[in-house]
Amino acid sequence: MNVINVRRVPTFTAAMRLTKATAFAAALVSFAPAAVAGEPIEKKGTTPYVTHFIFRPLMSIDTAELGKATTLEAVGTTQNMKGEKMLDKMSARCVALNVASGDKKYIDGACVLADSDGDKIFSTFDTRDLDKAQPKMDCGTHIITGGTGKYKGITGSEPFACITMPALAGSGDYFAMDIPHNTSWEIK
């Protein structure tokens, strides 16, 4: 005796419900990342954040009796201290000149922060520029000069402190530092 397998074919109505449910689920999945990534950011604010840096000396001129100048590269990540999105989980990369000559001791440089979308914030900094209204931020000030993407038109001021971390293992004169910032910014 021949046995015929009969496959149950869903009715037209059941197939339509399945198709509509599948389309709805696909729409949710495709729009959810865009909604999160496309969330607007505030146009103005004050944000406390810390950058966890590793500094790498690149080149040095050392004349013991006259002074020393060292170029540094710093890389790290940011952490918003209020748990907010602005200035949180960004990569940081800076280039600096560290000068010590007589009574002159300072570090000047520039940094770029990049978020997971690839949008960037650019700033310069000077350790001689102290904000006397914020005495705990006693290491210098960043000046935000611009940005790309969602940060286009950003400007601001970032007084910062310098917290020395334990020495790093190994050779190369690398060192670590946490840099807390108290940033006032505006996007125009």
| 115-135 tens-digit pLDDT | 999 999 999 999 999 999 999
Q: How many domains does the chain have?
A: 2
What is d(CA 136, CA 87) in angstroms, rounded to the nearest whole number? 20
Position 14 in a domain: yes
147 pLDDT tier (thresholds 50, 70, 90):
very high
* pTM of structure: 0.78
Give yes or no: residues 55 and 129 share one domain: yes
Pair (150, 70) in one structural domain = yes
User: What is the average pLDDT across 144-163?
Assistant: 97
Q: Does one domain contain both 101 and 33?
A: no
| Domain shared by 160 and 183, yes or no | yes
pLDDT of residue 32: 38
Closest C-alpha among 107, 63, 62, 111 to residue 87: 111
Summary count for the chain: helices (H), strands (E): 1, 9
For residue 2, tell me if it sits in a domain. no
- Give tens-digit pLDDT for 18-50: 444 434 334 433 433 333 455 678 999 999 999
CATH of the domain at 51: 2.40.480
Burial of 91 (0-12, 13-18, 19+ CB in 10 A): middle
Instruction: Return mean pLDDT, the chain.
Output: 85
Is residue 25 located within the same domain as residue 58?
no
Q: Same domain, yes or no, for 29 and 89?
A: no
Range of the domain at 75: 47-187
Residues 86 and 155 grouped into a single domain: yes
The predicted pLDDT at position 39 comes to: 62
Largest CA distance in the chain: 106
74 assigned to some structural domain? yes
What pLDDT shows up at residue 81? Answer: 97
Do residues 85 and 175 both lie within one domain? Answer: yes
6: pLDDT strictly greater than 50 = no
Does 65 have pLDDT greater than 50? yes
